[in-house]
Structure 1
Amino acid sequence: NTESQIHRQLASGLSMPVGFKNATDGSVTAAVNGCLAASQHHTFFGIDHLGRACAVQTLGNPDCHVVLRGSSKGPNYDASSVAAAVASVRLRLGANCVASNGVVIDCSHGNSGKDENRQIQVVQDIADRFAHGEKGIKGVMMESFLQGGNQDPAPLSELEYGKSITDRCISWKDTERLLNTLAQSVSSRRLKS
């Protein structure tokens, strides 16, 4: 949960990028505040490498970013939603933080209406925007697996290999094609710069 203080504190001690998703109502405030909280030093109760109780001290994580996941109101990967999210980050965190450089778009969930095949259209739209020079998007997330779709959880012997037992996913074949499309669009944008 983006609003969870414990998760924000844990993220402040990770040496890797961490994304904070917008709320399901579409608000980016909690995600922006998550980036701010995780960028700060924290001390909290935890355990050390020997399993003993200790005070964990973190240095803050400068590599957090906002993830636009869509909302109960619909998609939020359009150019105006991206610009508004980046503006919110810059207003709260300043223009020099990593998060102010752009957002990551979750091509699934609310941005695809939870229809795995709609992810393909979302990625193609983003690729077109990359190619035309839009700079507010720094990455994408896709629900992807070896095979498309999903299946209900079952005993291992009854499961179909390579198919998700959680969210509906696009196939690896579609994922590979979309990643190549994104790479070509980024190359096109770089040639124009």
Structure 2
Amino acid sequence: MYKIINIKRLKKDLINYNKINIKKYKEIITYNYKKIIIILGPCSLSNIKEFYFYIKNIKKIKTNIKIIIRIYYEKPRTNIGWKGFIYDPYLDNSNCVIDGIYMIRKLIIKILNLNLNLATECLNFYFLNFFIDCISWVCIGARTMNSQLHREYCSNINSIIGIKNDLSGKLCYLNDFKISLINKHFYICFNSLKKVFSKGNKNFQFVLRGSNLPNYNYSIVKKISNSLIIDCSHSNSFKNPIFQLFVFENTYNQFKYYKNNINGMMFESYINFGNQNILNKYKNLSVTDSCINFYFLKLILFKLNEFKNN
């Protein structure tokens, strides 16, 4: 991999910063501390300048909440469509993948220098290897959570793994992924043909994102004994961004008043409300899934901070 592209290495202080924060998140998950992790950002990265403006505004919010920034450079597709910034950083079908890798790596290091942690989704293992030293939380999406290759790969990395329920909504598949993830594997590394013996990864969270119906209600949550992230978007909000606020309110009350394993929430948020098509005619607007805007995000963070300070 590194023989093909020479990427900028992390400085020692950033490496240590990332390791320390991953350790803190692992403690929350392992010991079920009454702390909440918020994972937020747009559905997909599409504009470096706008995204960094969004990040700097989040940084200005005074809060004690543990925030992880979503930097989703790939876009999972049910069939076809725009596959994400890393494939097409100029949104013109030029397929400048090498440019995409360099641009994302540079952006990630800038964000780490703001003392923020990062999350991404694992679709293509080859791409993730260019960024994994910077990533605290790796999501396995609804379309890939049944993949044996993803399970083996994630069993060999240090980051926390967020496992989304699949599109059918059958929660038994979450346990299948969990069993595979925490166990040791032997496989051939896909980019170097070297033998890999993984140790297993016991640091994971289930992510409830809904299916045909929402699945964040207490009757489902109380049955799950593993650390949980509630995805306030996708099928839980019927893909209507304003409904993320209703999911948040319900989840917040469960977290505050009930004994359960909720340790976090995920939001699709950006500068402006809603979305647009890939022609990208409007500034500060998602080109994939609809997002809540910065105003609503601030309301959510202030509400969570109120609980934190009580």
TM-score higher than 0.5: yes
Aligned: 1:75 with 2:214: yes
Q: Where does residue 9 of structure 1 map in the other structure?
A: 152
CA drift at 1:114:
0.7
Distance 1:111 1:84 in 2: 18
- The AA in structure 1 aligned to 2:175 is V
CA distance in 1, matches of 2:302, 2:175: 30
Taking only aligned residues, the RMSD between alpha carbons, in angstroms, comes to 1.7
**Alpha carbons 1:145, 1:171 under 8 Å: kept:** yes
Q: Which residue of 2 aligns with 1:42?
A: 185
The separation in 1 between residues aligned to 2:211 and 2:297, in whole angstroms, is 23
Deviation at 1:180, TM superposition (A): 2.3
Higher relative contact order (CA 8 A, sep 6+): 2
1:126–1:183 CA distance, 2 compared to 1 (3 A): farther
**Are residues 1:181 and 2:306 paired?**
no
Change (3 A) 1:162 1:14: farther
Q: Distance in 1 between matches of 2:194 and 2:186?
A: 10
Given residue 177 of structure 1, which amino acid in structure 2 is its aligned partner?
Answer: L
Provide the residue aligned with 1:104 in structure 2: 229
Query: SS of 2:282's equivalent?
Result: coil
Q: What TM-score do you get using the length of structure 2 for normalisation? A: 0.51
Unaligned runs of 5+ in 1: 87-99, 189-193
Cα distance in 2 between the residues matched to 1:57 and 1:182: 41
Higher mean C-alpha displacement, 38-47 vs 166-175: 38-47
Number of residue pairs aligned between Structure 1 and Structure 2: 167
1:138 and 2:263 are equivalent in the alignment: yes
Q: Structure 1 residues 128 and 121, CA, compared in 2 at 3 Å: closer, same or farther?
A: same
Contact 1:68/1:106 (8 A) holds in 2 = yes
Q: Which amino acid aligns with 1:76?
A: N
Percent identity, aligned pairs only? 29
1:110-149 CA deviation, whole Å, 9 max, x = no partner? Answer: 1101111000111112122222244321111111112221
Please report how far the alpha carbon of residue 187 of structure 1 lies from its aligned counterpart in structure 2 after TM superposition. Answer: 4.7
Distance 1:125 1:29 in 2: 24
